Amino acid sequence: MPKEGRGEAPRRRRTGMCRNSLVANLEADGDSASRVPAAGDGSGHLRELQERLSDRAQAAALRHRADRKSFRNEITPGNFTFRMREFEQAELEYFVPDDGNDMNVYEAWVTARKRCYSTCARSGCASTSSRRRSGRTTPKAGTDVEYLFPWGWGELESIAHRGTYDLDAHMKLSGKDLAFFDEATKTRYTPILIESSAGMDRTTLTMLVDAYETETIEDAESGKSSTRTVLRFHPKIAPVQVGVFPLARNKPELVERARSIERALRPYARTTYDEGNVGQLYRRQDEIGTPFCAMVDYDTLADGTVTVRERDSMRQERVAADGLRAYLVDRL
């Protein structure tokens, strides 16, 4: 209630914190949905640029990264998480000086992003640069980083040389000056935008599809064959990098030593401790893509070495427990 003498209280009104939209193939059949304003607001990086440009100690180059939930009214969602109406998106806005070196920066970024995907994906990724155009409303150059899925080529990331189009449009509509004055050259110019946009769900799906494999393993002693399911993740992206377990779970001295080794490795790798049948433990780690396993046995208590098994080749070797960290770090 308002205090006496201060007039009437304003009427109650609803505060709109989201943007409304329709989710459906056809607008007439649409269901109302709300999305956070950030998902539909592409000017956050422009506002940050304005703040940075006001500080004359800052250079013209500025990187703005954002990971956020995005929405797209897909007509035909499908292929698991590849094409969805709601997805996670990572964007990088890279503003560079207008000094004639912008195309070199663009090409260098395309090479770096393609190398990133190709390093982690065994099959590698391909890029196409067929969208090189000139004009105010289209990118000066564009590249799609793609991967060959079982259903065909699919886009993972789009990299565009936007020129000054976005800043010019923002300045026109907002009335804010985003031009940069270079004290060194005494020139004034609008920074050039190199934009990169990637689907995080698509990237995750790509690495799973690329790493998944089944193979037939034949036991040399018994002659029996079995099927091994394995995720051949690159060690850098494997959820678990090292699995440590004792030869026998009912031997306290082995369990204690295995737990001690696993704890010592935690600061240097993503580790896990497990117990059970050794053969089943190896297969369990294969299925989650663990590159290396270290088994503590009775020889460990005698000579201080452990058995290290490599996932892809299944080769085993004895490694000193004291040197296990260096051995794994070199390979991870």
Whole-structure pTM value = 0.77
pLDDT at position 122: 80
pLDDT tens-digit series, residues 96-136: 888 889 999 999 999 998 888 888 888 766 655 444 444 44
Task: Report whether 123 contacts 148 (CB < 8 A).
Answer: yes
In three-state form (DSSP H/G/I as H, E/B as E, the rest C), the secondary structure along 17-53 is: CCEEEEECCCHHHCEEEEECHHHHCCCHHHHHHHHHH
pLDDT tens-digit series, residues 30-71: 566 655 544 445 455 566 666 665 554 455 567 777 777 777
CA pair distance 249, 244, nearest whole angstrom: 12
CA diameter of the chain? 96
Task: Report whether 141 contacts 132 (CB < 8 A).
Answer: yes
pLDDT at position 271: 97
Task: Report whether 66 contacts 44 (CB < 8 A).
Answer: yes
Between 23 and 93, residue with greater pLDDT: 93
Beta-strand pair 31-35/19-23:
antiparallel
| 68-73: long-range pairs with CB below 8 Å, 24+ | 68/38, 68/39, 69/35, 69/36, 69/39, 70/39, 71/21, 71/23, 71/33, 71/35, 71/39, 71/40, 73/21, 73/22, 73/23, 73/24
CA pair distance 228, 267, nearest whole angstrom: 30
Mean pLDDT, residues 84-89 = 83
Amino acid at 305: T
From residue 112, alpha-carbon distances to 89, 108, 125, 273 in Å are: 19, 6, 12, 36
Task: Report whether 207 contacts 121 (CB < 8 A).
Answer: yes
pLDDT tens-digit series, residues 158-195: 999 988 888 888 888 888 887 887 777 788 888 888 98
Between 316 and 45, residue with greater pLDDT: 316
Highest mean pLDDT among 38-52, 65-79, 264-278: 264-278
CA geometry: angle at 262 spanning 261 and 264, to 5°?
65
